[in-house]
Amino acid sequence: MAHDLVAGRGMTDFVVWNYLDGPFRLPRPSHLYWMPLTTWVAAAASWALGGLLPPWRAVQLVFALLSALVPTLATWLALAWWGRRDFALAGGMLTIFTGYYFIYWGVSDTFTPFALAVALALLAAWRGLEGGHTGWWVVAGVGVGLSHLTRADGPLVGLAVLFVLWSRRARLSLAPALAAMGLGYIAVMAPWWWRNVRVAGTPFPGGGTKTMWLRGYDELFSFGLELGPSRYVAWGLWPIVRSKLSGVVWNSVILAGGLQFFLVPPVLVGGQKLWEETRVRLTVTYTAILLGVMALVFTFPSRRGSTLHSAAALLPWLSALAPGGIAAGVKWVARRRPAWNPEEATKVFLWGFVGLAVLISLWQYALGVWFASGPSAVLPPWNRRFEHYQAVDRWLDAAGVPADQPVLVVDPPSFYGTTGRWAVVIPADGPVALERVADLFGARFLVLESDHASPYEEAYRSGQLDGWQTCLRLEDALGKPVWLLRRVPAGQPEQSPCAVNAVN
């Protein structure tokens, strides 16, 4: 998307990722579902440095520089909270080496921009809550607005600020703070809302709120399925309760995994010791609201990436709490083991935990980038995940298929980013919906891969689908089959002009 913006194609999409709203055509206005700030940052980097570096290297450089601010924030917080330089250094390192987040900090995704936008909102609110000038509430509103421009759940940080502000109502006047924060938020968001009204007829397009009525993640990609409260309630009480309980567990595991599990107790202890500190209250409140809303409202999207992305904003704040929690735990043990020297033991455990975080993060990085293979692997190595899309593109190129003829795939944004070809998501509700979508977009080719909805399981195993002819068989980087099928127009014979071609 950033490349299209720099190339002069404007805020335009050449993919359809879901069918939550119309109009169903290509090209179409972009960012009706996802928010635009990350694209703008990437486009600005490409435009500013494109003459000096290849565009994608320019984007990498800018995001790497921005990512350096995240551990810097943790270092500053840890120093402010605990007053020790070694705790500050440890807090920063624990933020860098955050297990499965380690690989994401410098990529051109929402992880870093969202963490920085949330930090701006929370720090400005802290200054406002501590009796700072009203201007800090305007800045807090700007931070909430930037958070919203980065991720659709960004307003939740504003909700956390409002809750803490309300709890301090005896010491603060609510009205001026609310007005100032609302002014900052609206100043950021109003131009975007106006753009949406112009291109989509509503300030809030995309149908994102419909995802609260999902009964399974695959329904996000259904075509013609009407998501709403009546259908959701008809699901039954126990399935709803079970999904919410599962959501709570999954979301807790995602956040605990970001803390690599062994840091959870120190973070809890550190938060308890500093509970009266305003920044800690803001952090805890935002954590509770984010996880609660994700788990109980947007239950299925939260388990498939939403919480992973949003919880990145929590990590510098929580990592800064960990050193004090480690020290408190050592002191508790030392009172029961007189032979321990609390100061020396604190250093041992502090840097032992940091060392363990570094080792785990580097191991997970190596698994993701170089060593993801074998029957137990879920994803191919980082730089090989879309090799099969490149092979499909070469075949379509040789067959003379134009780039503006949409291809049905499970991951349209990645397919478009890899090949430059227009793409439409395969509808999850099965072959009948597939035919309707193919007719609607004029899509003649279908890519079936290991990540597919259950109605296509038999077609994936056999490489055969009624009304479609097999053109190409290849393998992805994990050795799993990938099929390219061509639609047979109605009234034409079943014999395919494209031969089955096995590529190993």
Which tens digit of pLDDT belongs to each residue from 276-288? 999 999 999 999 9
Pairing of strands 407-409, 15-16: unpaired
pLDDT at position 274: 96
Q: Which residues of 349-366 are buried (b: 16+ CB within 10 A; e: fewer)?
A: bbeebbeebeebbeebbe
- Mean pLDDT over 327-349 rounds to 90
The more confident residue out of 412 and 173 is 412
Of the candidates 243, 225, 200, 203, which has an alpha carbon nearest to the alpha carbon of residue 18? 225
Residue 23 banded pLDDT, cuts 50, 70, 90: low
pLDDT beyond 70 at 230: yes
Query: What is the spatial distance between Cα 23 and Cα 225, in angstroms, rounded to a whole number?
Result: 16
- Mean pLDDT over 4-25 rounds to 84
Q: Are 314 and 290 a contacting pair, CB within 8 Å?
A: yes
pLDDT beyond 60 at 491: no
Of the candidates 101, 93, 98, 96, which has an alpha carbon nearest to the alpha carbon of residue 354? 93
pLDDT beyond 80 at 291: yes
Q: Calculate helix-pair angle for 155-167, 111-129, nearest 10 degrees.
A: 20
* Percentage of residues of the chain with pLDDT beyond 70: 94
pLDDT at position 412: 95
Q: What percent helix, strand, coil does the chain show, rounded to 5?
A: 60, 5, 30
pLDDT tens, residue by residue, 149-197:
999 999 999 999 999 988 876 556 788 889 999 999 999 999 999 999 9
pLDDT tens, residue by residue, 107-163:
989 999 999 999 999 999 999 998 878 899 999 999 999 999 999 999 999 999 999
Query: What is the spatial distance between Cα 161 and Cα 37, in angstroms, rounded to a whole number?
Result: 22
pLDDT tens, residue by residue, 63-102:
999 999 999 999 999 999 999 999 999 999 999 999 999 9
pLDDT beyond 50 at 500: no
DSSP H or E stretch at residue 170: none
* CA dist 354 → 76, 84, 270, 273, 326 (Å): 17, 16, 16, 21, 11
- Mean pLDDT over 416-445 rounds to 94
CATH 3.40.190 matches 382-487? yes
Q: Where in the chain is the domain with CATH 3.40.190?
A: 382-487
- Mean pLDDT over 357-365 rounds to 93
* Span of 203-217, 245-259, 261-275, 482-496 with lowest mean pLDDT: 482-496
pLDDT at position 21: 80
pLDDT at position 504: 36
The values of phi and psi at residue 400, to 5°, are 75, 20
In whole numbers, what is the pLDDT of the chain averaged over residues? Answer: 91
* CA dist 228 → 152, 209, 225, 234, 288 (Å): 19, 10, 9, 10, 26
Q: Which two tokens stand for residue 74?
A: 């943790």
- Mean pLDDT over 446-472 rounds to 94
